[in-house]
Amino acid sequence: MPSTTAAKNKSAGETDFLPLLGTDYIEFYVGNAKQAAHYYITAFGFTPWAYAGPETGVKDRASYVVRQNKLTFVLTSSIKNGTPVADHVYKHGDGVKALALLVDDARAAWKETTGRGAESYMEPAVLKDKEGEVVLSGIRLYGDTVHVFVERKNYTGAFMPGYVSWTIPHFQIKETGLQYVDHCVGNVGWYQMNRWVKFYEDTMGFKNILSFDDEDISTEYSALMSKVMSNENGFVKFPINEPAEGKKKSQVEEYLEFYNGEGVQHIALATNDIVATIKELMSRGVEFLRVPTTYYDDLMSRVGHIDEDLEPLKELGILVDRDNEGYLLQLFSKPVEDRPTLFFEIIQRKGAKSFGKGNFKALFEAMEREQALRGNL
Ligand code: FE2
């Protein structure tokens, strides 16, 4: 969608100084990108798209780009010691480095955000090959995480200059129905949530559209607080969590300890048919959190009529929540690496624009059972 549409949604006199067209890609720094890419292809149904590494003139790293519908993941690992990628993995384990945002003008995005106080990660740079050009720029976010602004309107090649097309001959790939990034959640340190809320407001023009306090998000043992930040057109949403006082260690504290700092906690991936997508993901070995079957006893009285049959939801452990505008179905994976850090949410929205507040308690109790098994509660 062109940036002018975003600007039109503003009330008279205001213009969106950072029009975002959506998420461009998410880059993960991992220990072994070749195998991580295979996991996202086989388990999550992504298709190989592009590659950069020693064979393409990149001497210190290898990057595999996979995609599914509007989702693009980049899996990058270092092939040498002492590089920024190697250091990142040494410190954090596998995790999200860059949340890249699609823009019409990456130079303007950098100028507007850094001019408002964001710290530069990458000055605007033009990458060119025979397929055209991509302009990149970037700013620093919580922890070692960054936002990269990607301008690709003048590029027709695979991913971006520096990459070559990548396919795996004879490999039968079947997608799982994952469509686009719904939201990406960051975990920040004690009392840091409002600092990052202000960062999104001041430097990127985002609005705080929802807030959850420790009353909303607490179990018998632990608590957290969360604020959801959204850009002007609502294409990009970043909730920010911080730990809150509880009897025991909260899941956010466990994350901060094992990630060795602040970072991306989960990425919510949208599907148009959550039952089919979850069945497919489970059949390929993706593991999900389970809530007790008693969750379904009063589900219908809590959420009212839904189009889906209850039985498959119950069998797969899919959660349902309703707000004023409709309902949503969601399910959370277990962490996708050995450190209890990054996980995925699979979400199908049927009108609801919220984040499943009615499920928080059952969900966080399920997380705590896993946390206790790890000896970290
Ligand atoms: Fe979420």
Q: How far does residue 55's CA lie from ligand 1's centre (Å)?
A: 38
48-52, 103-107, 214-218, 225-229: least confident range: 214-218
* Among candidate residues 66, 87, 89, 62, the one with its CA nearest the CA of residue 76: 62
Q: Rounded mean pLDDT of 17-34?
A: 98
Q: How far does residue 344's CA lie from ligand 1's centre (Å)?
A: 8
Number of helical (H) and strand (E) elements in the chain, helices listed first: 10, 17
Tokens of 13: 């006199």
| pLDDT (tens digit per residue) in 32-61 | 999 999 999 999 999 999 999 999 999 999
Q: How far does residue 182's CA lie from ligand 1's centre (Å)?
A: 8
Q: How far does residue 180's CA lie from ligand 1's centre (Å)?
A: 13
Query: Can you identify the CATH homologous superfamily of domain 178-374?
Result: 2,3-Dihydroxybiphenyl 1,2-Dioxygenase, domain 1 (3.10.180.10)
What confidence score (pLDDT) does residue 218 get? 81
Strands laid side by side in the 343-350 sheet:
207-212, 223-230, 237-244, 178-187, 263-271, 343-350, 326-332, 319-323
Q: How far does residue 341's CA lie from ligand 1's centre (Å)?
A: 14
Averaged pLDDT score across all residues of the chain: 94
What confidence score (pLDDT) does residue 13 get? 54
Q: How far does residue 238's CA lie from ligand 1's centre (Å)?
A: 9
Q: How far does residue 184's CA lie from ligand 1's centre (Å)?
A: 7
What confidence score (pLDDT) does residue 8 get? 44
Burial class (CB in 10 A: 0-12, 13-18, 19+), 245: exposed
Query: Can you identify the CATH homologous superfamily of domain 22-165?
Result: 2,3-Dihydroxybiphenyl 1,2-Dioxygenase, domain 1 (3.10.180.10)
pLDDT at residue 5 is higher than 70: no
Q: Are 149 and 123 in contact (CB under 8 A)?
A: no
What confidence score (pLDDT) does residue 9 get? 47
Q: How far does residue 225's CA lie from ligand 1's centre (Å)?
A: 13
At 7, is the pLDDT very low, low, confident or very high (cuts 50, 70, 90)?
very low
**Please, what sign has the CA dihedral across residues 186, 239, 20, 235?**
positive
| pLDDT (tens digit per residue) in 105-115 | 999 999 999 99
What confidence score (pLDDT) does residue 246 get? 85
Strand-pairing partners, residue 18, are none
Strand-pairing partners, residue 326, are 323
Task: For residues 316 and 288, give the distance between their C-alpha atoms in angstroms, rounded to a whole number.
Answer: 9
Q: Rounded mean pLDDT of 71-77?
A: 98
Task: For residues 206 and 81, give the distance between their C-alpha atoms in angstroms, rounded to a whole number.
Answer: 38
At 11, is the pLDDT very low, low, confident or very high (cuts 50, 70, 90)?
low
Q: How far does residue 331's CA lie from ligand 1's centre (Å)?
A: 9
What confidence score (pLDDT) does residue 6 get? 43
Q: Are 131 and 137 in contact (CB under 8 A)?
A: no
What confidence score (pLDDT) does residue 205 get? 97
Task: For residues 65 and 171, give the distance between their C-alpha atoms in angstroms, rounded to a whole number.
Answer: 16
Q: Rounded mean pLDDT of 189-205?
A: 97
Residues in the chain: 377
Q: Where are the domains of the chain?
A: 22-165, 178-374
pLDDT at residue 268 is higher than 80: yes
Q: How far does residue 137's CA lie from ligand 1's centre (Å)?
A: 27
Q: Are 299 and 214 in contact (CB under 8 A)?
A: no
Residue pointed to by tokens 């959660």: 319
Q: How far does residue 194's CA lie from ligand 1's centre (Å)?
A: 19
pLDDT at residue 29 is higher than 70: yes
Q: How far does residue 249's CA lie from ligand 1's centre (Å)?
A: 20
| pLDDT (tens digit per residue) in 128-179 | 999 999 999 999 999 999 999 999 999 999 999 999 999 999 999 999 999 9
190-194, 264-268, 342-346, 366-370: least confident range: 366-370
What confidence score (pLDDT) does residue 138 get? 98
Q: Rounded mean pLDDT of 265-286?
A: 98
Q: How far does residue 50's CA lie from ligand 1's centre (Å)?
A: 28
Residue pointed to by tokens 């889906």: 308
pLDDT at residue 247 is higher than 90: no
Which of 245 and 41 is assigned the larger pLDDT? Answer: 41
Q: How far does residue 276's CA lie from ligand 1's centre (Å)?
A: 20
Task: For residues 285 and 227, give the distance between their C-alpha atoms in angstroms, rounded to a whole number.
Answer: 32
69-83, 248-262, 362-376: least confident range: 362-376
Q: How far does residue 231's CA lie from ligand 1's centre (Å)?
A: 16
Task: For residues 128 and 159, give the distance between their C-alpha atoms in angstroms, rounded to a whole number.
Answer: 12
120-134, 214-228, 315-329: least confident range: 214-228
Q: How far does residue 355's CA lie from ligand 1's centre (Å)?
A: 6
Q: How far does residue 26's CA lie from ligand 1's centre (Å)?
A: 16
What b-and-e string marks burial along 322-346, b requiring 16 or more CB atoms within 10 Å of the CB? bbeeebbbbbbbebbbebbbbbbbb
State pTM to two decimals: 0.94
Q: How far does residue 63's CA lie from ligand 1's centre (Å)?
A: 27
Q: How far does residue 345's CA lie from ligand 1's centre (Å)?
A: 6
